[in-house]
Structure 1
Amino acid sequence: MTTTLITGANKSLGLETARRLIEAGHTVFAGMRDTAGGDAARALGAHPVQLDVTDQASVDAAIRSLPHLDVLVNNAGILGSSHGVDDLTPAAMADVLETNVVGIVRVTQAALPLLRESANPVIVNVASGVGWPRFLTAEDHDEFPVRGIPYAASKAAVIALTVQYAKNLPDFRVNVSDPGYTATDFNRHSGHQTVTEGTDATVALALLGADGPTGEFHNRHGRIEY
């Protein structure tokens, strides 16, 4: 049985990822800051686990609670409070990076000993096309109108750190997904994709075998070329 940990799995993309991986036969541990809000995950058959990616003690305790681990999905993230230049502060930037980038490193580093015991260790980091300069500068892309700096910068960092983790862990499959413009709380449900469509890439990458690609950036249509 494949055991999977998903961060930020109490709602939205994380919860849908949990649902689909349970359907695929995974045992899913649903990480969330407050397990009191874990009823939806429990209803799916997931096992809620308290996990705040900004808190090392919380991360360490969550990893210790796992029997073993094959797949890590780093899904937790925040949009932040800054949406342009005039409201941007160093603190606003730091808050987003702490969750969206440092949080991935914190969880991944804690999980590495368990993942190294797996016959097929897989890591999927959830980024965004908003972190891809080619999409941000192309008028025909959904990402073009975005003006916020912290979220875009954090997701660009997630793409880069994924490539570097893949280079350092050749026996792992380490990839990064772009959910696309999906209807979630982040955009007040204005996205044109459903959460199922938004999890297509993440789920496909989580299901990779040992012969699958690594160090790649995928959306629901396949690989996004660097």
Structure 2
Amino acid sequence: MSNFSTALVTGANKGIGRHIAQQLAAAGLQVYVGSRNLANGSAAAAEIGSGARAIQLDVTDQASIDAAAAAVPSLDVLVNNAGIIVDGAAPPDATLDAFRRTYETNLFAVLAVTNAFLPALRRSPNPRIVNISSGTGSLTWSAEGRQFQTGGGGAAYRSSKTALNALTLFYAQALPDFRVNALAPGLRRTDLNPRAAAADGDPAEAAEAAVRLALLPADGPTGGFHHYDGTLAPW
């Protein structure tokens, strides 16, 4: 893993993000553990070990983003992991506020964080960006009724991840020297929502898939929507 030395993971104090940070550190990288609450990030970094360093990063606060970017002179890997579910309503019942709050974290924050860290990433000979998406963002799977539920439930979250997939593709096209990919991590046991809290899926398995994308070789894929099992997920 000598081609990569530094990484930053947003929302890394818990859940899939924490496992990603831990696995990147185990691979020999210096990992910035991004956390809205610095104390929580520091606790996670201490548990991960010497390869981890907490950094205060509220992905919905531009001042926080700018301060974090100023503290990171160079970066090989950016993992946009932070995400939220506000409610599970279908469009007739989903509120505009729920959509705005969801998109603020799941889409607009990815744009803000990525742009802020682009100067640091451009100093790397091997820049990588991994956006943690969701299989529920696949329009193909949604139309088939395969993911989450039918009838438009969870529309704010699901559509925010669909938009994130599009943003991933656009970044890959605009940054041909980068490897930029999105990951569908599968339903994992996290505190994202009650359904996830009751899930059997191991978040460490999803993290392994994210780390594979983070440490891609120079001829690795870019602009893809990847399922955690290594296959491509349908748009």
Bigger CA drift: 71-80 or 37-46?
37-46
Q: For 2:223, which of 200, 215, 218 is the aligned residue?
A: 215
Larger RCO (CA within 8 A; separation ≥ 6)? 2
Name structure 1 gaps, 5 residues minimum: none
C-alpha distance in 1 between matches for 2:123 and 2:30: 17
Which residue is 1:96 aligned to? 102
Aligned residues: 225
Bigger CA drift: 156-165 or 203-212?
203-212
Contact 2:140-2:234 within 8 A present in 1 as well? no
Secondary structure class of the residue paired with 1:137:
helix
TM-score, length of structure 2 as denominator length: 0.91
Contact 1:80-1:95 within 8 A present in 2 as well? yes
Mapped pair 1:190 → 2:198: yes
Q: For 1:77, which of 59, 80, 83 is the aligned residue?
A: 83
Bigger CA drift: 6-15 or 194-203?
194-203
Contact 2:135-2:233 within 8 A present in 1 as well? no
Q: For 2:32, which of 29, 40, 64 is the aligned residue?
A: 29
Which residue is 1:2 aligned to? 5
CA deviations 1:120-149 (Å, max 9, x no partner) are 00000010011101222334x342357111
C-alpha distance in 2 between matches for 1:190 and 1:37: 23
Secondary structure class of the residue paired with 1:186:
coil
The one-letter code sitting in structure 2 at the alignment partner of 1:103 is A
Name structure 2 gaps, 5 residues minimum: none
CA-CA distance at 1:2 after TM superposition: 1.2
C-alpha distance in 2 between matches for 1:33 and 1:187: 19
> How big is the alpha-carbon RMSD for the aligned residues of Structure 1 and Structure 2?
1.5
TM-score, length of structure 1 as denominator length: 0.94
Contact 2:85-2:193 within 8 A present in 1 as well? no
CA-CA distance at 1:87 after TM superposition: 4.0
The one-letter code sitting in structure 1 at the alignment partner of 2:168 is T
Bigger CA drift: 63-72 or 12-21?
63-72
Query: Equivalences for 1:68-147 in 2 at 5 Å?
Result: 68-85=74-91, 87-139=93-145, 141-145=146-150, 147=153
How many percent identity over aligned positions? 46
The one-letter code sitting in structure 2 at the alignment partner of 1:224 is A
